[in-house]
Amino acid sequence: MPYRRTTLSRYIIEEQRRLDRGAELIALVNDIQTACKYVANAVAKGALTGAQGGTGQVNVQGEEVRPLDLIANDIVLGSCEWGGHLAGMASEEMEALHPIPPQHPRGRFLLVFDPLDGSSNLDINMTVGTIFSVLRAPEGVAEPKVEHFLQPGTQQVCAGYALYGPSAMMVLTLGNGVHGFTLDPAIGAYLLTHPNLTIPADTQEFAVNASNQRFWEPPVRRYVEECVAGRSGVRGKDFNMRWIASMVAEVHRILMRGGLFMYPRDTKDPAKPGRLRLLYEANPMAWLVEQAGGAASTGRERLLDVQPIALHQRVPVILGSRNEVERLDRYHAAYDRGEDQPFFSPLFKERSLYFGAA
Ligand code: AHG
Ligand code: MN
Ligand code: MN
């Protein structure tokens, strides 16, 4: 019976009772789910909105802005700024912070978000999503500045994403496991369909934009080379590769059946240590993955421990099934210690610095 299912609204209220979480946080999550329903509706209309193509604008990241990026950004701002739960907001689509308008009360939390992730997929009707992370505003700070948002991922109090795919979903953590809710369009409510998601420690699936391989560091080349070598190589098993170009969709697949996702450090643009943004892409996803038993790393450091130095900072991201992430950490450490031996890579047709066995 659908009405026997737990709605997201009920889940967060029961979590509040059980974990003694403040009502403010719960009310904020409620506003976020409202925003995600509006965005789901806007995205589902697809080409009918006339909002396909580009806006001609470039955002703070130097990327082309789609009309729905801006619509989704406005929806999240408008749905969450009035409630009295937030002291401030920051988004991928805004260079500066979004202060709470003076007519609304101030709250204790900070919201950082990517209103539409994977938006290059919009024109081809592929899965996109909204990513969000909630932090506490430092005690006594009513008008937060950028420095107050620069908290490591370990400080998050809620993180999650909304997925706009064949069905719309919301997946979130309040620090007590990861739970997935499917939007029932008939009643306009998210229903708990995927409680206690867990990521298996091992996998035979990896996701990486392989067109960047010439820019990768040797430990990443080594890892991918070994996966591609499959049963005939040191891994002794075949791997499958996926790339959706939408982090929300990749992380969702990993939460459903395991896998390894990475957008590692590369030398494409020396000013950018990675592609993905720390505060509103990497950190919320890293916490979800850890809460589901997986791991998330830069290759050299636990992602959640990275101390941010800028609002729109980019970071290398390696996350998913624990044993694969740890393997990549070992490969980075060995490379940094200079312990790798010269190796001829038949795949990349060049000498690299891998050593033989794992
Ligand atoms: P956004 O659409 O918010 O800019 O983010 C897109 C990100 C992420 O979703 C994905 O993993 C990656 O960019 C795709 O990168 P490529 O263009 O290299 O495929
Ligand atoms: Mn994004
Ligand atoms: Mn985006």
Are 284 and 132 within 8 A, CB to CB? yes
Query: What is the per-residue pLDDT for 66?
Result: 83
Find the range with the poorest average confidence among 52-61, 229-238, 250-259, 304-313. Answer: 52-61
- Which ligand sits closest to the CA of 122? 1
Q: Give the number of the atom of ligand 1 that is nearest the alpha carbon of residue 246.
A: 9
Strand partners, 261: 207, 319
Which tens digits make up the pLDDT trace of 292-309? Answer: 999 999 999 999 999 999
Distance 114 CA to ligand 3 centre (A): 5
Q: Is the CB of 11 under 6 A from ligand 1?
A: no
115: its two tokens: 């209103």
CATH code at 205-348: 3.40.190.80
Q: What is the pTM of this model?
A: 0.94
Query: What is the per-residue pLDDT for 356?
Result: 46
Report the alpha-carbon distance of residue 75 to residue 336 in Å, rounded.
45
Report the alpha-carbon distance of residue 121 to residue 187 in Å, rounded.
28
Distance 130 CA to ligand 3 centre (A): 8
Are 113 and 130 within 8 A, CB to CB? yes
Distance 306 CA to ligand 2 centre (A): 19
- Please give the sequence-ordered ranges of beta strands (E in DSSP) within 179-284, or none if there are none: 179-184, 189-194, 205-207, 240-241, 260-263, 276-277
Which tens digits make up the pLDDT trace of 11-65? Answer: 999 988 887 777 899 999 999 999 999 999 999 988 787 777 777 788 777 777 7
Which tens digits make up the pLDDT trace of 137-162? Answer: 999 898 999 999 999 999 999 999 99
- Model confidence at 2, in pLDDT bands (50, 70, 90)? low
| Ligand 2 is an ion; residues with CB less than 5 A from it | 114, 117
Mean pLDDT of the residues in the chain? 92
Report the alpha-carbon distance of residue 67 to residue 55 in Å, rounded.
6
- Which ligand sits closest to the CA of 266? 1
- Looking at the chain, which residues constitute the CATH 3.30.540.10 domain(s)? 2-194
Which tens digits make up the pLDDT trace of 72-83? Answer: 999 999 999 999
337: alpha, beta or left? (left if phi > 0; alpha if psi -120 to 50): alpha
- Mean pLDDT within 275-300: 98
Q: What letter does residue 83 receive in the DSSP assignment?
A: S
Query: How many residues are present in the chain?
Result: 358
Strand partners, 315: 276
Nearest CA to ligand 1 atom 6: 118
Are 90 and 77 within 8 A, CB to CB? no
Query: What is the per-residue pLDDT for 321?
Result: 98
Instruction: Show the CA angle centred on residue 113, arms to residues 15 and 313, nearest 5°.
Output: 125
For residue 349, pLDDT over 90 is answered with no
Report the alpha-carbon distance of residue 205 to residue 227 in Å, rounded.
9
Which tens digits make up the pLDDT trace of 316-343? Answer: 999 999 999 999 999 999 999 998 755 5
- Topology of domain 2-194, per CATH? Fructose-1,6-Bisphosphatase; Chain A, domain 1 (3.30.540)
Q: Among 66, 117, 319, name the best residue to mutate to test ligand 1's pocket (greatest count of ligand atoms within 8 A of Cβ).
A: 117
For residue 227, pLDDT over 50 is answered with yes
Are 10 and 143 within 8 A, CB to CB? no
- Which ligand sits closest to the CA of 73? 3
